[in-house]
Amino acid sequence: MKRMSWEEFARSMGVEPHILENEEARLLKKFVMDLKFPTHCQGCQGLDLSNPNPVHHPSYELTPACNHDCIFCYSNVAVKLGKAPKPGYYGWERPYAITVSQYGEPLISPRIVEVNRMLRERFPEARLDLQTNGSLLTEELWEKLDFDLVMISLDAASREKHLKITNADTFDAVVNALRIVGSDKSVRSVVRTIFMPGINDEEVPRIAELAASLGIDEMMLQPLTIHELNVERLKKAGLDFDRAESIREYLKVAMEAKKYIDVRISGCQLAIYRTMDPLTLFSARRVARDVAPAMKRERA
């Protein structure tokens, strides 16, 4: 039996599809079609929906250690389960981009400058992305670094909420890092925010406004992945687990934040959402739960 699209089903029942759509569904669909892919995602295999087993950009892992203890962190889970990657390069020759790094806080490592220079010399054509919580970035250290794109994580717009999420009193330091990077127009600056309904959904537009005021180019808004070992912490913090799985809720917050900054959502998610019709997009849900992150790339 052939599976029908919802439009075909509607017509088989004698109803034109546009009658079943609502205004919010149409707005969500237009929003998705108008969005650009995040700069960090450009060149990633995940944007090609014909690829059955895409992997992220190569990464150089420095350390799984971190000075934050975020309630949602997958790196913490990987460490607890003994699945955190060992330091080193995970990828292939002639990469489009390399991320430093996906696990832990790279600026903790005394080798950050050395590794940055080594990657620039070894892969001169690659885009180098730094992913950091920003709390350890200073003007002095920034002068020694050479990245093309910098993603600074910030999931709250106030010191109190930041402390609740990260268990670290570093809000002012992160804001200062955004200021340092935002004022340097030789790099693409990004504030990376995780959407956690019930915890920070009202904060996201305020984060966008703050980041824009500091010269940040882009917000990369990502949906929350709920790892098993973080469930109780997220529950205690007030996470709305039902809304965390709603694509509509995720996109609505992105729309609000876009009033202040160039908001972009996860590239692999956006590629899928663009294939959905308005009504499906409006009602679709994502599987937000996972056990532990897996490193798909080989260590070189």
Is pLDDT larger for residue 5 or for residue 83?
Answer: 83
Which of the four pLDDT bands, split at 50, 70 and 90, describes residue 287?
confident
Mean pLDDT on 9-20:
62
CB 98 within 8 A of CB 92: no
Which of the four pLDDT bands, split at 50, 70 and 90, describes residue 289?
confident
Tell me the longest C-alpha to C-alpha distance in the chain: 68
Residue 11 above 90 pLDDT? no
β-bridge partners, 295: none
pLDDT above 70 covers a percentage of the chain that reads 93
- Per-residue pLDDT at 299: 80
Mean pLDDT on 163-173:
98
211-215, 286-290, 295-299: the lowest-pLDDT one? 295-299
Quick: pLDDT tens for 247-276: 999 999 999 999 999 999 999 999 999 999
Q: Report the alpha-carbon distance of residue 218 to residue 151 in Å, rounded.
A: 9
CA atoms within 13 A on the CB side of 201: 19
Quick: pLDDT tens for 60-111: 999 999 999 999 999 999 999 999 999 999 999 999 999 999 999 999 999 9
CB 212 within 8 A of CB 257: no
CATH 3.10.310.10 fits 22-290, yes or no: no
Q: Report the alpha-carbon distance of residue 229 to residue 67 in Å, rounded.
A: 19
Rounded to an integer, what is the distance from CA 240 to the centroid of its chain? 19
Give Cα separations from 178 to 112, 140, 192 (angstroms). Answer: 19, 15, 11
- Per-residue pLDDT at 108: 98
- Per-residue pLDDT at 13: 62
Give Cα separations from 6 to 21, 279, 281, 293 (angstroms). Answer: 11, 8, 12, 34
pTM for the full predicted model: 0.91
Residue 19 above 80 pLDDT? no
CA atoms within 13 A on the CB side of 147: 28
- Count of all residues that appear for the chain in the document: 300
Domain boundaries of the chain, sorted by first residue: 22-290
